Amino acid sequence: MKLKSLITAAAITALSAGGALADAHGGKLKVGMITTLSGGGAGLGIDVRDGFMLAIKGNDQIEVVTEDDQQKPDIAVQLADKMIQSEKVDVLTGIIWSNLAMAVVPAATAQGKFYLSPNAGPSALAGKGCSPLYFNVSWQNDAFNEAAGAWANENDIKKVFLMAPNYPAGQDMIAGFKRFYKGEVAEEVYTKLGQTDYAAEIAQIRASDADTLYFFLPGGMGISFMKQYAGSGVEKNLMGPAFSFDQGILGAIGDAAVGVKNTSHWSKDIDNEANKKFVADFQAEYDRLPSLYAAQGYDTALLLVSAMGKADVNDAAAFQAALEEADFASVRGKFKFGPNHHPIQDIFMREVVKEGDIVTNKILGVAATDHTDVYGAECKM
Amino acid sequence: MSPILFIEQVLNGLQSGIMLFLMAAGLTLIFGVMGLINLAHGSLYMVGAFAAAAVAGWTGSFVLALAGALAAAAAAGAVIELLVIRRLYDRDHLDQVLATFALILIFSESTRWLFGSFPLYLDVPAALSGPVRLPGGILYPAYRLLIIAVGLVVAAGLFALIARTRIGIQIRAGEADREMIGALGVDISKLYTLVFALGAALAGLAGALVGAIQSVQVGMGEPVLILAFVVIVIGGIGSIKGALVGALLVGLTDTLGSVLLPIFFSSFLEQSSATAVGSALSSMSIYILMAGVLLFKPTGLFGEA
């Protein structure tokens, strides 16, 4: 009996000593993650979260509070208020959609919180609305499309048919492509957001004399379109930004996606140690292939950890400087921030291929080297 | 626009209208017979699609997948009728809307729990995966022709059921006066369960057929539900004939509007603004159609006052 109490006492002492030690470091940091975990867009948020959590697995200096924004701007704003005021988080992250980011980010940075964007890069936040506390670890919305436009010029694509949903991100993506593309545009079609049947558009594509179809249809819209396109017998080159062809949805499209060219800053076959480790660890932990969203969540966490090693989050200027250094081994290889805190990175052209039974992407080449956005000039911080 | 392209677009409009009919028929039957607004009808569509994807995944057979979808949706319909809907017949429409909205949330999150958040794979059978050449040189996807055929067969079957069978007579009588047919010895609660399961099965069939060419994912039913409501309002609430005509009108307006309006505006506007105005107007076209119909026929085309 005596022995037992003694051991218990010793154990308690050891535990409290450990706690005291952690406190003594004072480096603990609280992260508020607002992301989409329910509804049609949940796959993206789940991947960002899982990538983020994988990178900080076993790190007891970071505490993460995760909440579901249901892909609704009003809910995201409420969650952000709650996290800042009652949870007292130091850093916010997680938002997937541009319209939600626009609703949350300006208010959060105005209250002195850091925001690290693991996805979504609306042009307003890269230009006039930039903030010293806002860091985009993914891309500015136009980036993949500009790179695709540049790639099209060099790869003998003469006439394109453009298609995107009729909402701001859709229009930005098409504008981004046209900014760099020098060839001819046969037709420009805007579909309804959330449209599921593309028979009418496919008939127009069939009748068009374009050699290539360039389209941005994220999530379920892309799945529907690709399946219907495959059954239509139309044979044109297909190109688009990576969002319609990422790992999470390729499984649902199946063989119909094989051969599609898409631009991305990340691919699972980028050849560097950090990426190999990430892909292997992710598969071991979650038993599925990582998507680009998972890679972005992972890089966001690595960036945060690197800054924590250099500065205390309570010293905002020092922490900002530490984030600006971007001193971490990105799974993308090269990664640094431009003056507007948006990435300068290579954008790759990928092709959808079949590896055994799995439909996935492989890199064809670099579409744009050290690519950055055009909005930085308007950013004064 | 060439005549071939125009005919192809008309076929597309027909096909989307036929699919809408399968959804709207169940919705209008349930509303007509039981006076119930069922927001969870879109969830039954989703159940059909997920059941089809699961069965196709296990067995590899599309026919079995369709059968599975019908069975799963009908079963889900019967279960929610017995557990929840039954208690709502005497309630206010607002209570029905609230309760069936809750069902949407329950169905969505349980589906996510069972199948995960990523869209499922369901493809058209290999034999129907390509296009066929129609007279006049039109290339048209074989699977979409199948959808049109299935929809027409179901529509014919439904009309025969309502007009010529004993159950159809009871359904029509239930629409007219539910207390009276109860007094005549018809087991009204059994009839209601049956009608509800029939409506659910039609929604499930639509979900499975469409799931093969669209994305099988949580929340897929709600956009279709909104269109189905537009259809039954246009056609007249409670009328199967109205649902068919309304569905075809909506399908054709939606498809042809999105194709023809941008062309129409480009005849006198600059290309980029023509595209913008045309796309914006075509998104509104079916609602404009609905408003127009209601202006002249406040109870819908085939509705009774």
Residues A69-82: pLDDT tens digits? Answer: 988 899 999 999 99
Using pLDDT thresholds of 50, 70 and 90, give the confidence band for residue A37: confident
- Give the span between the Cα atoms of B28 and A364, in whole angstroms: 53
User: Quick one: pLDDT at residue A27?
Assistant: 65
- Mean pLDDT, all residues of chain B: 89
State whether B220 and A40 contact (CB < 8 Å): yes
* B112/A38 CB distance under 8 A: yes
pLDDT of residue A25: 39
Q: Of A330, A356, A355, A175, which Cα lies nearest the Cα of A265?
A: A330
Distance from CA of B162 to the nearest CA of A (A): 31
Tell me which chain A residues have a C-beta less than 8 angstroms from the C-beta of B283: 166, 192
CA atoms within 13 A on the CB side of B156: 6
Q: Does B299 touch chain A (CB under 8 A)?
A: no
Maximal C-alpha separation, chain B = 68
Is A196 in contact with B109 (Cβ distance < 8 A)? no
Point out the residue among B15, B108, B118 whose CB comes nearest to the CB of A248. Answer: B118
Q: Is residue A180 a contact partner of residue A153, using CB atoms and an 8 Å limit?
A: yes
Percent of chain B past pLDDT 90, that is, above it, reads: 52
Q: Is the pLDDT of residue A341 over 50?
A: yes
Percent of chain A with pLDDT over 70: 92
Q: Cα A193 to the chain's mean position, in Å?
A: 20
Could you tell me whether strands A261-264 and B138-141 are parallel, antiparallel, or unpaired per DSSP bridges?
Answer: unpaired
* Predicted local confidence at residue B32, as pLDDT: 83
Flag whether the ipTM exceeds 0.95: no
Mean per-residue pLDDT, A99-103: 90
Q: CA-to-CA distance for B8 and B123, rounded, in angstroms?
A: 22
Interface touch A200/B283, C-beta < 8 Å: no
SS3 A39: coil
Confidence (pLDDT) at B235? 93
The pLDDT of residue A4: 56
Across A93-109, average pLDDT: 92
CB-CB contact of A313 with A91 (8 Å) = yes
Q: What is the CA radius of gyration of chain A?
A: 22
What pLDDT is stored for residue B127 in this prediction? 84
pLDDT, one tens digit per residue, over A207-253 is 899 999 999 998 778 888 988 898 888 889 999 999 888 888 888 88
CB atoms B213 and A228 under 8 Å: yes
Distance (Å, rounded) from C-alpha A3 to C-alpha A21? 27
Which pair of structure tokens corresponds to residue A93? 């992250």
Q: Cβ separation of B124 and A40 shorter than 8 Å?
A: no
Residues 6 or more apart whose Cβ sits within 8 Å of residue A193: A165, A166, A167, A170
Task: State in words which class domain B10-125+139-296 has.
Answer: mainly alpha
Residue A87's alpha-carbon distances to A27, A52, A206, in angstroms, are 17, 19, 55
- Name the residue among A199, A220, A252 with its Cβ closest to that of B15: A199
- Structural domains of chain A in order of their starting residue, each with its CATH number: 12-139+270-341 (3.40.50.2300), 143-264+348-371 (3.40.50.2300)
Cα separation, A229 vs B221, whole angstroms: 22
Contacts with A223 from chain B: Cβ below 8 Å: 119, 214-215, 217
Preferred mutation among B45, B118, B123, B270 to probe A, highest tally of A CBs within 10 A: B118
* Whole-number pLDDT of residue A223: 85
Backbone dihedral angles phi then psi of residue A57, each to the nearest 5 degrees = -60, 130
Measured between CA atoms, the residue of chain A closest to residue B5 is: A203
Q: What is the pLDDT of residues B187-234, one digit of tens each?
A: 888 888 999 999 999 999 999 999 998 888 888 888 899 999 999 999
**Per-residue pLDDT band at A5 (split at 50, 70, 90):** low
User: Which of B108, B213, B275 is closest, CB to CB, to A188?
Assistant: B275
Highest mean pLDDT among A268-282, B23-37, B165-179, B268-282: A268-282
Closest Cα to residue A139, out of A31, A262, A292, A367? A292
Judged by CB atoms closer than 8 Å, whether chains meet at A196 and B220 is answered as yes
B216 DSSP 8-state letter? B
Contacts of residue B48, Cβ cutoff 8 Å, sequence gap at least 6: B69, B70, B72, B73, B203, B204, B205, B206, B207, B208, B211
Residue (of A307, A379, A368, A38) closest to A177 by Cα position: A368
In sequence order, what are the residues at sequence separation of 6 or more whose Cβ sits closer than 8 angstroms to the Cβ of residue A79? Answer: A32, A34, A67, A69
Q: Residue A188: its chain B contacts at CB < 8 A?
A: 271-272, 275
Joined together, the tokens standing for residue A100 give 């939600």
Q: Which long-range contacts (CB under 8 A, 24 or more apart) does A332-335 make?
A: A332/A265, A332/A266, A332/A270, A332/A275, A332/A295, A332/A299, A333/A270, A333/A272, A333/A275, A334/A370, A335/A299
DSSP-assigned states of every residue in A214-249? EE---THHHHHHHHHHHHHT---EEEEEGGGGSHHH
